[in-house]
Amino acid sequence: MTPQDFDYLRKLLRERSGLVLSAEKQYLAESRLLPVARRHGMSTLVGLVGMLKAGPSSPLAAEVVEAMTTNETFFFRDKVPFDHFRDTVMPALIAARAREKRIRIWCAAASTGQEPYSLAMTLKAMGSALAGYRVDILATDLSSSVLTRAKDGIYSQFEVQRGLPIQMLVKHFAQIGEHWQIAPEIRAMVQFRSLNLLNDFTPLGIFDVVFCRNVLIYFDQPTKTDVLNRLAHRMPDDGYLLLGAAETVVGLTDSLKPVMEKRGLYAPNPARRMAPAEFGNVLTFAAKA
């Protein structure tokens, strides 16, 4: 692959997904995209890039983006955010929503479903504390292939051993051969939908809790700021945002602020929250996605 071809791929990936691929990551592109090229009858990436240039809006472009997207996840990943959700976020929201008795949760980078299903199992364990409440979980991801897996809720032995307590495996999963499928009542608690965070997500509505973990790390600073500002406008003043361990709002936006002594937990900052007109529409390149 020529440097020019790699530059074209880097530009396409940034425009379509926000993924910033550094110049020294050509080996990564080659390892992930060669299988895509071979599926389309090509032995090198030169032909693949040629096809992309000929049809930049073709399904092939989406296939390339999906191949380059990292979908690493596991049940109750990093544990701390789920402790915050159970011990801080949900008790506060249950008290605050005593009248309307509805809570909306958004997992903005759901991958193969372990995160939203972890939240669903946590809610199930809260039992009578949620009596009379309607709790909606929306799970979105850029990749349609991982969402298909997530909807099925079928995981390998290796996947269920990563972070899932044995008592939850026994209680909420059924064994199917060498795999495990999450129970229908847990699957029914989660709605899955394809979404690119670079695009306008205003139509999704307002969410009391947003999990947007381990996705901002792949964006450049302007894209991080843009996404965070728009997320802040999808939450009420008493809402919560949870980011990954390597992510923060500090230095990126004043629309959100850290919750003291709760690592990875953030809240809207009403006094500093920007009006939509101030940060404009979705980043200009997102319109091409």
What is the SS3 assignment for 82-99? HHHHHHHHHHHHHHHCCC
Q: What 3-state class would DSSP assign to 13?
A: helix
- Angle value at C-alpha 284, between 283 and 289, nearest 5 degrees: 90
Catalytic site includes residue 87: no
- For residues 193 and 139, is the Cβ–Cβ distance under 8 A? yes
- For residues 289 and 272, is the Cβ–Cβ distance under 8 A? no
- In the set 16, 77, 104, 141, the catalytic residue is 141
183/227 Cα distance (integer angstroms): 33
- In the set 32, 86, 149, 162, the catalytic residue is 32
List of residues 6+ apart from 103 with CB closer than 8 A: 90, 93, 94, 97, 133, 134, 135, 136, 208, 209
Catalytic site includes residue 99: no
What is the four-CA torsion angle of 153, 79, 124, 144, rounded to 10 degrees? -30
168-175 long-range contacts (CB < 8 A, ≥24 apart) are: 168/121, 172/121, 172/124
* Residues designated as active site: 32, 141
